[in-house]
């Protein structure tokens, strides 16, 4: 039997048994269909309710490596405040920080990606 996750059906399973096809069970892909309809504002609001608006914005922007100064500028907060938020997100396993010469680069971890992806 072939199992196939499907984003086309959110209401239940479908079965294909007609020869010459192999018996196939199509089932709803978990979490995908509901997230397709969410927009960026809705996602930011949901993350903001969970993490706070500043940390949510930092996590959403951490899809590309940025320095602490860039994070602070993008979030319109002081560098010390950005550093604190990054420390909290790093402690939670959502951000990884790596030294690059004199600067520190911050990027979402797989857990951070999963959290952002779960909101989609």
**Pairwise CA distance, residues 30 & 5, whole Å:** 8
At residue 26, φ and ψ (nearest 5 deg) are -95, 130
CB-facing half-sphere around the CA of 16: CA atoms within 13 A = 12
Mean pLDDT, range 38-65, rounded to an integer: 86
pTM: 0.65
Query: According to CATH, what is the number of the domain 40-119?
Result: 1.10.10.10
Give the per-residue pLDDT at 33. 47
Cα–Cα distance, 58 to 74 (Å, whole number): 8
Please, where in the chain does CATH 1.10.10.10 lie?
40-119
**Per-residue confidence (pLDDT) for residue 54, from 0 to 100:** 92
């Amino acid at each position: 039997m072939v199992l196939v996750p499907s984003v086309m059906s959110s209401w239940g399973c479908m079965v294909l048994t007609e020869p010459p096809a192999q018996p196939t069970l199509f089932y709803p892909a978990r979490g995908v269909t509901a997230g397709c309809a969410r927009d960026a504002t809705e996602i930011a609001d949901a993350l903001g309710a969970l993490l706070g608006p500043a940390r949510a914005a930092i996590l959403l922007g951490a899809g590309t490596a940025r320095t602490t100064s860039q994070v602070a500028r993008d979030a319109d907060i002081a560098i010390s405040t950005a550093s604190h938020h990054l420390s909290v997100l790093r402690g939670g396993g959502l951000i990884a920080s790596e030294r690059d010469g004199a600067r520190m680069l911050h990027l979402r971890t797989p857990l951070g990606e999963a959290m952002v992806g779960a909101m989609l």
